[in-house]
């Protein structure tokens, strides 16, 4: 599939360093005093080699969603791909689902949810900051193009969720416990509540409020750690750096009659 005018690509050098580029016909890309016309990249095959004026060689690729998220412009800190992947499974995001999220941040979670729900689903975002909202919409449009199943409300989600019988509620907020009363009203029975929080005190608070709501059960909290490995011939070892703690995920199910789970006791 050839690269097109107007899309975003990544140039990768021999050391694996990544440089993002928005292709524009007639423009010229400059890097360390070397240049290449965008027109020489537009129309090339995804994964092609390109050579700049001074001989520097790059591989040009259309970025995956994870790669795009790590290099896209940011108004707020993004959720890392390792957590986005876990959110998709534990919140059980499926084609055709109606998912409400807050806040939109830089749009990383929104794009991930939109890809998962597909054209038959819907993603509704709540965001109180206009600057975050504008940046997120620009990032979404650059990668996904025109999206017809995304709704943005510029308001505090804790003051009211307009949608009813929502399948999933995903919150990247500092105080998600403020949303629990609205979650009780808006989520369908069997629906999933998921919060993304960086600290233990926040997690304790949201779990206490979920437990006290009388509507949620099967509450779990966990984190995901990612440790890459270097494999070069017979040299096999963990990388010197790893993406360790980023946040805790807390998941709960809305039930007709919440299930009280007794803690396991060591024998």
Q: What is the mean pLDDT of residues 135-154?
A: 95
Distance CA 137, CA 235 (A): 44
Q: How high is the pLDDT of residue 243?
A: 85
Q: What average pLDDT is seen over the chain? A: 94
Distance CA 249, CA 90 (A): 9
Q: What is the mean pLDDT of residues 242-266?
A: 80
CA distances 85 to 66, 102, 113, 170, Å, are: 9, 18, 10, 13
Q: Which helix (H) or strand (E) holds 50?
A: strand 48-51
Q: How high is the pLDDT of residue 267?
A: 53
Q: Taking a C-beta distance cutoff of 8 angstroms, is the pair 87, 107 a contact?
A: no
Q: Which domains does the chain have, with CATH numbers?
A: 8-63 (3.10.330.20), 67-254 (3.40.50.150)
Distance CA 252, CA 221 (A): 9
Indicate whether this model's pTM tops 0.85. Answer: yes
Q: What is the mean pLDDT of residues 175-202?
A: 97
CB atoms within 10 A of CB 132: 19
Q: How high is the pLDDT of residue 257?
A: 75
- Here the tokens at position 216 are 């949620």
Distance CA 121, CA 114 (A): 8
> Is the bond preceding residue 103 a cis peptide, omega within 30 degrees?
yes
Query: Tell me: the pLDDT tens digits for 15-43?
Result: 999 999 999 999 999 999 999 999 999 99
- pLDDT at 258 > cutoff 70: no
- pLDDT at 123 > cutoff 70: yes
Handedness of CA 232, 236, 241, 245 (dihedral sign): positive
């Amino acid at each position: 599939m050839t690269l097109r005018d107007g899309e975003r690509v990544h140039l990768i050098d021999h050391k694996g360093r990544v440089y993002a580029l928005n292709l524009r016909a007639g423009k010229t890309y400059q890097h360390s005093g070397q240049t290449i016309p965008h027109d020489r990249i537009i129309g090339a095959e995804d994964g092609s080699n390109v050579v700049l004026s001074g001989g520097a060689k790059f591989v040009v690729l259309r970025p995956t969603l994870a790669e795009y998220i790590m290099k896209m412009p940011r108004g707020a800190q993004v959720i890392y791909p390792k957590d986005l992947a876990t959110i998709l499974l534990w919140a059980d995001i499926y084609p055709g689902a109606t998912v409400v999220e807050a806040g939109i941040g830089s749009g990383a979670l929104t794009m991930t949810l939109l890809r998962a729900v597909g054209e038959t689903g819907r993603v509704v975002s709540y965001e109180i900051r206009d600057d975050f909202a504008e940046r997120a919409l620009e990032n979404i449009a650059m990668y996904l193009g025109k999206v017809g199943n995304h709704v943005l409300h510029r308001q505090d989600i804790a003051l009211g969720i307009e949608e009813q019988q929502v399948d999933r509620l995903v919150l990247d907020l500092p105080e998600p416990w403020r949303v629990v009363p609205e979650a009780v009203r808006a989520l369908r029975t069997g629906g999933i509540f998921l919060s993304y929080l960086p600290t233990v005190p926040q997690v304790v608070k949201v779990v206490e409020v979920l437990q006290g709501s009388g509507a949620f059960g099967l509450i779990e909290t966990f984190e995901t750690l990612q440790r890459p490995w270097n494999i070069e011939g017979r040299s096999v070892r963990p990388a010197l750096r790893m993406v360790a703690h980023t946040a805790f995920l807390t998941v709960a199910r809305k039930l007709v009659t919440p299930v009280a789970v007794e803690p396991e006791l060591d024998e």
